[in-house]
């Protein structure tokens, strides 16, 4: 007894779509339906209930996977996806008051939102600036920059990867070239070089992740990513950093304020 409607063979809609709709309705029904993390009926049970071939049931499940509603676990079952905790990023997240408290933006925000922050896979090296970065930094193509890559986790789950590019001359001999940038983070070190931060520009987009990103962010097919390319400018209007981030989309809500001017 699955307590699901039967499909209508005379309908215009194909059986697999009807099955997908039936399951989708249950997932979206909230309290009366399947809950987050619930196991949905096995393929065998659905085949029996709807009286269709296995591929038909799998096609319905595929549909829902593509919508990001469910995740399959080999040998265990298919489960309603857990919504990750949402990180709400306001445009004052780089405000100086956070740096003054000795905290980098990610840590300050974790404090406020109450999740456990971690940063891992820190990799610092020097190399040529990619084209898009060189453009924004106002450097010659392939000019040498310090490249800082890292991954952010909230409550143990990867939520974002970030790669910062800092002009080589600017970073020379500072903690920017160390894995640990010290209290206040990268921006605090930048300001110590005399480049006081004045404003940021962020370019926001969204797309499907490539396989490598799916891997490093631990996300299943059907989950998009938000891309944010941030450029930091000092009070003289010079671009001092470009930061290229890839965020697990369902885990983020970005908030920006701007004047109507």
Task: Point out which residues bind DNA (CB under 7 A).
Answer: 14-17, 42-45, 51-56, 58-59, 61, 72-78
Shortest separation between residue 83's beta carbon and DNA, angstroms: 21
Q: Which is nearer to a copy of itself, 182 or 224 (CB)?
A: 224
Shortest separation between residue 66's beta carbon and DNA, angstroms: 12
> What track of x and - describes contact with a copy of itself for positions 200 through 239 (by CB under 8 A)?
xxxxxxxxx-xx---------xxxxxx-----x-------
Of the chain, the end-to-end C-alpha distance in Å amounts to 62
Please check whether residue 24 is in contact with residue 64, taking contact to mean a CB–CB distance below 8 angstroms. Answer: yes
In the three-class reduction of DSSP (H, G, I as helix; E, B as strand; rest coil), residue 65 is classed as helix
Q: Which H helix or E strand runs over 218? A: none
In this chain, which stretch among 34-42, 100-108, 124-132, 194-202 interacts with a copy of itself, using CB under 8 A? 194-202
Burial environment of residue 154 by CB neighbours within 10 A (0 to 12, 13 to 18, 19 or more): buried
Shortest separation between residue 141's beta carbon and a copy of itself, angstroms: 18
Shortest separation between residue 199's beta carbon and a copy of itself, angstroms: 5
In this chain, which stretch among 114-122, 138-146, 175-183, 199-207 interacts with a copy of itself, using CB under 8 A? 199-207
Residue 44 partner contact from a copy of itself, DNA, none using kind-dependent CB cut-offs of 5 to 8 Å: DNA
Burial environment of residue 258 by CB neighbours within 10 A (0 to 12, 13 to 18, 19 or more): exposed
Question: What DSSP line would sit under 40-53, residue for residue?
Answer: PPPHHHHHHHHT--
Residue 255 partner contact from DNA, a copy of itself, none using kind-dependent CB cut-offs of 5 to 8 Å: a copy of itself
Question: What DSSP line would sit under 156-202, residue for residue?
Answer: TEEEEEEEEEEEHHHHTTSGGGSS---TTHHHHHHHHTT--EEEEEE
In this chain, which stretch among 37-45, 74-82, 135-143, 192-200 interacts with a copy of itself, using CB under 8 A? 192-200
Measured torsion, CA atoms of residues 229, 232, 238, 239, in degrees rounded to the nearest 10: -30
Give contact residues for a copy of itself (rule: CB under 8 A): 55, 62, 66-68, 91-92, 94-96, 197-208, 210-211, 221-226, 232, 249-250, 252-261
């Amino acid at each position: 007894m699955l307590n699901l409607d039967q499909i209508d063979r005379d309908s215009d809609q194909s059986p697999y779509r009807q099955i997908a709709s039936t399951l989708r309705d249950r997932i979206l029904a909230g309290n009366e339906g399947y809950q987050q993390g619930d196991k949905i009926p096995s393929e065998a049970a659905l085949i029996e209930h709807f009286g269709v071939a296995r591929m038909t049931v799998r096609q319905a499940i595929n549909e829902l996977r593509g919508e990001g509603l469910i995740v399959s676990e080999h040998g265990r079952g298919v489960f309603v996806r857990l919504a990750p905790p949402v990180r709400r990023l306001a445009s004052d997240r780089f405000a100086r008051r956070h740096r003054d408290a000795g905290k980098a933006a990610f840590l300050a925000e974790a404090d406020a939102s109450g999740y456990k922050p971690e940063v891992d896979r820190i990799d610092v090296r020097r190399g040529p600036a990619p084209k898009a970065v060189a453009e924004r930094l106002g450097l010659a193509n392939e000019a040498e920059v310090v490249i800082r890559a890292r991954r952010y986790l909230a409550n143990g789950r990867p939520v974002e990867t970030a790669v910062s590019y800092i002009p080589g001359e600017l970073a020379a001999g500072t903690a920017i070239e160390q894995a640990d940038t010290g209290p206040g983070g990268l921006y605090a070190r930048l300001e110590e070089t005399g480049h006081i931060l004045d404003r940021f520009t962020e370019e926001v987009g969204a797309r499907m992740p490539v396989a490598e990103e799916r891997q490093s962010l631990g996300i299943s097919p059907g989950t998009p990513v938000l891309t944010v390319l941030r450029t930091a400018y000092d009070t003289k209007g010079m671009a001092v950093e470009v930061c290229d981030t890839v965020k697990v989309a369902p885990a983020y809500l970005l908030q920006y304020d701007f004047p109507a001017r």
